[in-house]
Amino acid sequence: MSETSENPATHEPVDGPADPSVTASRRPRTYVLVLFGLAVVVLLLDQLSKVWAEGSLVAGEPARPLLGDVVGLRLIYNSGAALSFGSGVTWVLTLLSVAVVVFIVLSARRVRSMPWAVAVGLVLGGALGNLGDRLFRSPGFPQGHVVDFIDYGPFIGNVADIAIVVAAVAIAVLAFVGIGPDGERAGSAAAPGTSAAGDEPTP
């Protein structure tokens, strides 16, 4: 990447290499935009799909086949987490969701890896989708029931759950291969006396 500068003698534009510090400063902003942009997309898809489910399905009816006998459509209102765990302490699950959202928002600027930006964006979008149900749906704040309608047999979920599961798998893979949120691989730190790029010794 190059940028145009001015020759002080002729006052004519001269092509030259971009300032590395400017390029580096733009990267964190890109990761943050991807993270929050993806979160918004997941949140919208989740809420729109729930509106569709409530308008097209009736709670209590048997599942409609979607992918044969593997996946169906069945509307329920879940007061707990996955597999209805914690159905008697919905407010605790709400607090946990709020904590997750706040932690991600405060830590977003530390992400320096595109795969991590995507994974964390999926988690944030999924958490916000289900949190919105708990805050604004019946029976009321902060114990609203989550709209679930994708029937897998053992459990019923929604788009937010899919995003969270995909993110969990991605994060597990990133951790396994040793890539941290800062984009660095474990054990790849520069040796003492060398620059960050490992090209020349530092004075």
What pLDDT does 150 receive? 97
pLDDT along the chain (203 residues), means of 10: 54 53 64 98 98 96 92 91 55 88 95 97 97 92 92 94 96 96 77 45 50
Residues identified as active-site: 148, 161
pTM here is 0.78
Cβ–Cβ contacts within 10 Å for residue 102, how many? 10
**pLDDT tens sequence across 44-84:** 999 999 999 999 999 989 999 999 889 999 999 998 655 45
Contact 120, 111 (CB under 8 A): yes
User: In 3D, which of 64, 63, 38, 192 has the Cα closest to residue 123?
Assistant: 38
DSSP element (H, E) containing 72: strand 71-78
